[in-house]
Chains A and B, each alone.
Chain A
Amino acid sequence: MDARGGTAAAHLEVTDVGKRFAVNGEAFAALDHVALGVAKGGFVTIVGASGCGKSTLLRLIAGLDRPTSGALRLGGVPIDGPSLDRGIVFQEPRLFPWLTVAGNVMLGLENAQMPKSAKRAAVAKHLALVGLTAFADAYPHQLSGGMAQRAAIARGLVNRPAVLLLDEPFGALDALTRTRLQGELQAIWAQEKITTVFVTHDVDEAVYLGDRIVVMAPRPGRIAKVFENARPRPRERTDAALVHLRNAVLRELEATLGAEAPEPTRAGPQAAARPQRPAALRLPGAAGA
């Protein structure tokens, strides 16, 4: 498990991964020959238009879906299902409405092997990390959208996972809250040095947060280009180098749209929250976007 040729440096390895869904009886390639390595402690953002498979890729890393071909490894160990090693934050906070904020964060520790007192301490610590200590006993319906998403981040981090996966976590928030949470997430990452994979459709967000920005293209879903971003943190949004990089990423992203109908360059069209899907209770979750 130690020396792996070629990808030894990568902590998280995605090797030649393909994922096909059957849509109306026809095979649809959500991902095609995707390869990506993420170094330990790295912050990778994945940006792309809707339908480019960026959320599918994240779900594969989370272990919520299986690839049709190729392999994923974390620290050399094949990924075959969800693990407490990989925390995930979805676009919707997905808090359990009948539990308090603390109770929701505690859910993450349901299967952690530690005494009750240590669990309580971990919950308190992570609530403090996201600034929700005062709201530990509040119920989700009492929280604003930004606070709910902070609670979801605390829940994703509470297991001290090796990798934190975020699927457009700020997509449904207003611009002001989004900007603030981006800053907070960057601070948390700097403090915790946790390997992070962040999916977004917002180029500004991708460039501001990532030290690598992966641009994906649709039909079939594939990686178009990877940009490096070595700007030191904390970053200024107005930094000329960042603005320059943002324009380069944006040009690349527009190129991926090719002959397709031009879309607004900022927030993508899928910004609206996905509808709740009540569905039959099958353990392998419904296929994601």
Chain B
Amino acid sequence: MSAGETLAVLGGGAEAQPSGARIRRAAVGLLVPLAALVIWAASAQYGWLPIQILPEPLVVWDSLVQLWSSGELLDHARVSLLRVVYGFSAGAAAGLALGLAMGLSETVEDYVRPLFTALAQVPTLASIPLLMLPLGIDEALKVVIIAKAAFVPMTLNAFAGVRGVPAQLVEVAQAFRFTRLQLLRRVILPGAVAPIFTGVRYGLTKSWTALVAVELLASSEGLGYLLVWGRQMFWLDVVIVAMIAIGVVGFLMDKTLALAETRLQRWRVTAV
């Protein structure tokens, strides 16, 4: 793919979709990546960087095709995704429980919040050296690190969600003599759905980045491992393929959740 070709694609993308503001806006989002691709191609063409350090786009494309058709890329992605599924589920569930508990009870908040706030300041990766000792460097460590990464934003958002439910609506529930359970089920939880979802999305992103970091450190499979392995072999095309795969998977996960969020909250004013 030459620079000229890429430019043609760029021009087409920008004006080929006159119908629908949504498509136009999505196309606009492609402009910056495409520009980067153009610069990348130009760099390879004119030798701005040694190709050992920044291989040509076409070479990376070949590696991508190769890793895809051999099934290797999917295998690594599957391993990584599975780790995130376990870690994120555990961390998000625990965070949801703690956030709701702190939101609903000032006693729980008083006991737990200072420690939680302090823990939240410690970067997830900073706990690896300590956790390595009891957990080793196998799956348990990875799952715990991923869980911790999801736990913090989930807790914070669930807490904020519960506290953000307008007092006026709670008072309406009170006037109709709602029990605590009814209050929780009919008022607090629906009212906190939006922040909780923010927590889920943010937590998943955090989990995904923590996963790759922990895989860099100690693993024999997974997208993070693919990245490290590529660097050690000085196959920068493989490194770039791994980075692209990580980005695409993360992007798709976030988009899926965004879609679920819109479905769950049809009552919200839809942007026109």
Contacts and interface: CB of A to CB of B under 8 A. Distances in A.
A88 B174 CA distance: 11
B166 A277 contact: yes
Contacts of A108: 176
Given A92-B168, A280-B106, A281-B103, A82 B174 contact: yes
Contacts of B180: 283
A31 interface: no
Given A92-B168, A94-B168, A96-B190, A281 B163 contact: yes
A194 B188 CA distance: 32
Interface string B62-83: 0000000000000000000000
**Which one of A83, A96, A111 has the greatest number of beta carbons of chain B within 10 Å?**
A96
Contacts of A107: 172-173, 176, 186
Contacts of B267: 97-99, 139-141
Contacts of A81: 177
Given A82-B177, A281-B104, A94 B186 contact: no
Contact of A64 (B106, B175, B182, B268): B175
A98 B182 contact: no
Given A82-B174, A111-B176, A285 B167 contact: yes
A26 interface: no
Interface string A50-93: 00000000000011100000000000000001111010101010
B170 A280 contact: no
Contacts of A286: 167
Contacts, number: 87
Nearest to A63: B175
B235 interface: no
Given A84-B177, A283-B174, A276 B106 contact: no
A110 interface: yes
A278 B164 contact: yes
Interface string A243-285: 0000000000000000000000000000000001111110101
B169 A96 contact: yes
B162 interface: yes
B168 A277 contact: yes
A97 B166 CA distance: 11
A64 B174 contact: yes
A118 B182 CA distance: 20
A80 to B, nearest CB: 12
A277 B182 contact: no
B90 interface: no
A110 B176 contact: yes
A280 B106 CA distance: 8
Contacts of A279: 163, 167
A116 B178 CA distance: 17
A285 B167 CA distance: 7
Nearest to A288: B171
Contacts of B178: 110-111
A100 to B, nearest CB: 8
Given A98-B190, A107-B186, A141-B267, A285 B174 contact: yes
B111 to A, nearest CB: 16
A144 to B, nearest CB: 14
Interface in A21-59: none
Contact of B187 (A82, A92, A96, A277): A96
B100 to A, nearest CB: 11
A118 to B, nearest CB: 17
B265 to A, nearest CB: 7
Contact of A278 (B166, B182, B193): B166
Interface of A: 62-64, 81-84, 86, 88, 90, 92, 94, 96-99, 107-108, 110-111, 139-141, 276-281, 283, 285-286
16 contacts: A83-B177, A84-B176, A86-B175, A90-B168, A90-B171, A94-B172, A98-B193, A99-B190, A110-B182, A111-B177, A111-B179, A278-B163, A278-B165, A279-B163, A285-B170, A285-B171
- Give the 10 A-B residue pairs with the shortest CB-CB distance, closest first: A285-B171, A279-B167, A139-B267, A98-B267, A98-B190, A82-B175, A94-B168, A141-B269, A94-B172, A88-B175
Interface of B: 103-104, 106, 162-180, 182-183, 186-188, 190-191, 193, 265, 267-269
